[in-house]
Structures are given as C-alpha cells and as structure tokens.
Copies of this chain bind each other. A is one copy, B any other.
Amino acid sequence: MAKITDFEQDIIDMIEQKSYKALKEKISDINPYDLAMLLDNFHDRNILLLFRLLPKDLAADTFVEMDKDRQRALIDSFSDKELREVIDELYIDDMVDIVEEMPANVVKRILKHSTENTRKTINQILKYPQDSAGSIMTTEFVSLRSNMTIAEAIAKLRRIGLDSETIDTCYVTDNKNTLIGYITLRTIVLSEDSNTIEELMDRNVISVNTFEDQEEVANMFGRYDLTVIPVVDNDNRLVGIVTIDDAWDVLERETTEDIELMAAITPSDTPYLKKTTFDIWKSRMPWLLILMISATFTGMIITRFENALQTYVILTAYIPMLMDTGGNSGSQSSVTIIRGLSLHELEFNDIFKVLWKESKVAILSGLTLAIVNFSKLMLLDKVGFNISLIVSSTLLITVIIAKTVGSSLPMLAKKIGFDPAVMASPFITTIVDAISLIFYFIITGIVLG
C-alpha cells in the first residue's frame, strides 16, 4: 500500500503544481483496473481533472472499472461532448451494465447521447431475463460467410474489426444469419489468401441460447476451454457473443453468492468495504432470526427431559460436544455435495451413489469418534460405563444422521429448484441438533431406565 501512497502523493503534487503534461504521461501508462483503484482515492473534482487527461480509449476502459457511485458522479460532471466520447468507446455489454445500475435521470442522459442504433441494441439486451446469456452478451462481433475467401474475410475484419469486442474467434453464418461454424483469427492468419472460409471453418461450434442461465454459460467456458461463446436465439440465429472476461466475473460472483448462502447470508454484489452497516445487518438478520427461532425445538426437547437432566446433570456437559460434532459432520457432507453440484461433478441422479458413499463414510467416522470418545469418557472423565455408553452411542447415531441429512438435502433442494447452497451448515445444524438430542434422551431412557 505504501508504494501507491507515494505515487498518489506525486500525483497530488503535480495537480497542485498544475504540471498537467507530466501528469498525463504519468497516468497514461497505468492499466484501467489499477487506474480505477487509484482514482477511487481522490476527490471527485480531481478525478474529473485526471480523467480529462487520459487518452479516450483508456478513459472509457477505466470508467468501466469504477464503482457505480464514482461513475455516476463522473457522468454528472461530464459535458455532453465528454459523455458522448466515453459512450462511443464503450462496448455494448458494458453500456448495459452501466445503464442497469444508474438512476433514471442519468440513464435518460446516457441514452440521449447514444446513437439510434446503440439505443435500440441496449433496449433489446435489457429485455432478456436477468442472469441469462442474453443479458451479459455483447452484439459487437464479426460474422463471416462460408463462401468468402480468406482475403475477403481479412478485408471485412479490417473494415469492422476495430469495433468488435474480440475477433480472435469469428463466427460463420448463412444468409439467414444461422450459426453454422467458427474460424479463429489464428487459422485465418496462418492460411492462404485464396482458401475459402468453408474449407477452413470448424462446423462443430458450441453455442448457448439467449435464455441459458449465466452460471451454466460460465461453466461451459471452463469445460470446453473457450475464450468466447456465441449466443443464438431459438432459431439458431447468431445474436451476440459472451467473452471470457464477463464469464470470469459471473463465476466469481456466483461463487461468492454460494459461499454467502452457505453461511446464511443473503447475497449481494457490493464489495464488503462499500456496504453500509445497515446493508450488512439486513443481509444477515433474517437468517439469524429464523435459525434462532428454529432452535426453540431443541429447547422444547430439553424441557421435556428436564427430570433426566436433573438426575444426571453430567449429561448436560456433553450436549455442546454432541451438537458441534453433529453440525461439523453434517456441514462437511453438505458443503462437499453443494460444491460438487455447482461444479457439475454431481447431478441429482447420483443421489443413491452419494448416499451409499456418505453412509459408509458416516459409519466409519462415527465409529472412530465414538471409540475415541468412549475411551476419553472412561479413562479421563471417569464418568462410568453407562454414561460413556450413552454419550458415545448418541455420537455414533448423530454422525450418521448428520451425514445422511447433510448429503441428501442439497440434492433434494436442487431437484425441486431451490439453491442447494441454502442447505449448508446453519440449516443442517439446526435439524441435526434436534434429532441428536431426541436420540440422546431415548438412549438415556434405555440405558438408565
């Protein structure tokens, strides 16, 4: 961090000394992401000043990397001409992201300064369901025809290639705009001018429908080692492309969402330090309340067995251990299954394989823990055979139930269309707690009468 602060000081000095030429040189060499992080530490007034010194394309790329509050402040202070210049440099998918996050009056101003065509495209993309391939695609791609020669293709690329988000992969369509294949820029460059696209293209092209879920789209990049994927409508007509940088963001966002759900937090896109205390409270409170109130059941069970506990107070001492071990065993299974489902290593159809495997692991783990625990109770705690037996056999049963519940609930959730991530530690723990206590008291009844 110290390095950035020195650098920042230099910039502040230059601003004060109005040495704009040196300043321009100093900041024009920075990457858009680093530049956005740097600008984030400055006052709005200075951001605008620095922003005006940047080359147009770098300015637009940096703009995309800023958070929405900064973007909004910048747009508000842009002249109409500046706004138009930034808009001209932006890719459609980034425009859509910005439009989605800005308040109505800012959106109105953005659209007013966009071309008729851009406006139309943005409106089309906005119509796709949230989290669909259509909503994250861009329409700036190159499509080639199969009867073109390589020379003709290169001529077309030179004409429109600069405005496309990527031309590393070009898609081949027929006269109805149906996707029929793809050809990489590498193949184009390495081939003779007189070859036709038809001869060189690969017809085995992987595409997604506009309505495909973005998480599935992201997974396909990993599975098939792609850097761009074409998006087609229901008639297999090419309507857009999704590039891997957007898929990467989807992957990171969806993983964060899974992890937050697993920890009983309502997911949100805002980075931690940008969230207000109230935001955080709101995302955590409902779950804590629900789980606290569900714990009423465990309380009721304990109250019902008050007499047993009064006679054998020592039984109370092992309740936390039983519940924690149950919770941990269950969450190991549930988290493993949830991750397997989201990596598509597991499907609902595998449920019997999973249950069989988890049962074996459960019995093995339960026995290990029960034996260690029994020895500890007999030799260290010296609580006598009966208590040791009660606690250890409850432990065995708890671990088996925890692993069975923990592995089956996420799969069932997936099957009925819920997010499996909800079925993680907190939820499983609450269920396992109650079941484990019931067995604790039943076994106590059997052993001690």
Binding site for B on A (CB under 8 A): 1, 29-33, 154, 157-158, 161-162, 166-168, 185-186, 188-190, 203-204, 206, 221-225, 227, 244-245, 248-249, 251-252, 255-256, 259-260, 262-265, 271-273, 275, 277-278, 280-281, 284-285, 287-289, 291-293, 295-296, 298-300, 302-303, 306, 309-310, 313-314, 316-321, 323-325, 327-329, 331-332, 334-337, 339-340, 343, 345-347, 349-350, 353-354, 357, 360-361, 364-365, 368-369, 372-373, 376, 381, 399, 425-426, 429-430, 433, 437
Contact = CB atoms under 8 A, between A and B. Distances in A.
Contact of A287 (B271, B275, B292, B328): B328
A396 B317 CA distance: 23
Contacts of A204: 29-31
Interface of A is mostly: helix
A336 B429 contact: no
A336 B280 CA distance: 10
Given A316-B316, A323-B323, A329-B288, A248 B221 contact: yes
A89 to B, nearest CB: 15
A323 B376 CA distance: 23
Given A221-B248, A222-B249, A287-B332, 14 more contacts: A158-B190, A168-B186, A185-B185, A256-B343, A263-B331, A264-B332, A277-B357, A292-B321, A292-B324, A293-B376, A309-B316, A310-B313, A323-B323, A425-B425
A58 to B, nearest CB: 10
A327 B429 contact: yes
Given A316-B316, A320-B437, A364-B281, A161 B186 contact: yes
Given A273-B346, A331-B264, A335-B259, A433 B251 contact: no
29 contacts: A31-B206, A161-B190, A168-B185, A185-B185, A189-B189, A221-B248, A222-B249, A225-B248, A244-B244, A255-B255, A260-B336, A263-B334, A263-B336, A265-B336, A277-B357, A280-B357, A288-B332, A288-B369, A289-B368, A291-B328, A292-B324, A292-B369, A298-B320, A298-B321, A299-B381, A306-B317, A310-B313, A323-B323, A327-B327
